[in-house]
């Protein structure tokens, strides 16, 4: 018997649903540093500070969205029964995404603002982190409860394709954060991770002398006893020219570099230029850079 529900005369054709990316593990041991996880950060705000707290949270959220492509989900949610209670709901692609988040200047700034505007903060992690990541996270001093995964699957892709790439400026600023950590700690492993994330294979940096510096040479300098890194601050982002249909960019910026070379202090203002290439995953990588001769800040 025909019915309005069974009549398909003017019905649109039904398309097959596209399967979402699937991470599936058969054992709890398959979960760890490279798999996605959920974090819940519970905040309680002082009654007189709600408006200021919401403004700080909005600024932090915008900065995280711009600088953290592996933060897959990031919302600030209000408790329906307590107007002073809020929750950061976050999904990370992997442990590295969390470690970057913890050192990201906008997050560091927000944590400081919470100390002034909030009166309670606790964290829950749903998913298995490596022991090293747990140790680094717990060192933050906040109460953290870890819920390790026993079984299940995730349709959250561990390598998301962003809808649009970060701005060239935010890319350079993000690179500088990771580079500074590796250089200050003289950590070769972190330097290699930084290079893989921000630099194309075979990329070189031309030094003021005109000599090229590849990954191995730069890593050797950073980790040697001759150099003591203090800081590298971007004092201006001077230009960005995106071309080739949005697939490449030429940028210039100015850094204030402080370091010691064989006990001699160096305090330089230096101009940099870099050529960026957009990867098929939708993120920038530097293929070439040039540092001009440093000038005294005075």
Neighbouring-strand partners of residue 268: 257
- pTM of this prediction exceeds 0.85: no
Task: Domain 168-291: state its class.
Answer: alpha beta
Q: Give every residue of the chain whose pLDDT is below 70, as ranges.
A: 1-29, 157-163
pLDDT tens, position by position, 117-151: 999 999 999 999 999 999 999 998 889 999 999 98
Task: Domain 34-154: state its class.
Answer: alpha beta
Q: Are 229 and 180 in contact (CB under 8 A)?
A: yes
- The DSSP secondary structure of 267-288, one letter per residue, reads EEEEEEEEEEEE-TTS-EEEEE
Q: How do the domains of the chain map onto residue ranges?
A: 34-154, 168-291
> 176-181 long-range CB contacts below 8 Å, 24 or more apart?
176/232, 176/233, 176/234, 176/255, 177/100, 177/103, 177/104, 177/105, 178/100, 179/232, 180/229, 180/231, 180/232, 181/103
For 17, residues 6+ apart whose C-beta sits below 8 A from its C-beta are none
pLDDT tens, position by position, 13-39: 444 444 445 555 445 567 778 889 999
């Amino acid at each position: 018997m025909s019915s309005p529900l069974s009549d398909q005369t003017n019905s649109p054709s039904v398309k097959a649903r596209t399967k979402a990316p699937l991470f599936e593990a058969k054992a709890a041991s398959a979960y760890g540093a490279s798999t996605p996880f959920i974090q819940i950060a519970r905040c309680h705000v002082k009654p007189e500070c709600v408006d200021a707290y919401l403004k700080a949270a909005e600024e932090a959220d915008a900065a995280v969205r711009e600088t953290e492509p592996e933060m897959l989900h990031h919302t600030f949610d209000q408790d329906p029964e307590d107007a002073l209670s809020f929750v950061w709901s976050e999904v990370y692609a992997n442990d590295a995404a969390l470690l970057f988040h913890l050192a990201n200047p906008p997050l560091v700034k927000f944590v400081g603002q919470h100390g002034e505007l909030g009166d309670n903060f606790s964290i829950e992690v749903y998913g298995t982190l490596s022991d090293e990541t747990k140790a680094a996270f717990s060192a933050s001093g906040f109460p953290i409860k870890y819920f390790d995964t026993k079984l299940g699957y995730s349709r959250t892709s561990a390598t998301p394709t962003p809808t649009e790439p970060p701005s060239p400026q935010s890319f350079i600023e993000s690179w500088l954060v990771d580079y500074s950590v590796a250089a200050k700690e003289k950590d070769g492993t972190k330097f290699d991770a930084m290079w893989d994330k921000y630099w194309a294979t075979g990329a070189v940096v031309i030094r003021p002398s005109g000599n090229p510096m590849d990954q191995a040479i730069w890593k050797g300098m950073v980790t040697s006893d001759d150099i003591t890194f203090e800081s590298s601050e971007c004092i201006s982002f001077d230009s960005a020219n995106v071309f080739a249909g949005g697939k490449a960019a030429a940028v210039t910026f100015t850094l204030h570099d402080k370091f010691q070379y064989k006990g001699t202090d160096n305090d330089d203002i230096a101009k940099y230029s870099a050529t960026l290439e957009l990867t098929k995953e939708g993120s920038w990588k530097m293929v070439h850079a040039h540092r001009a001769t440093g000038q005294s800040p005075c």
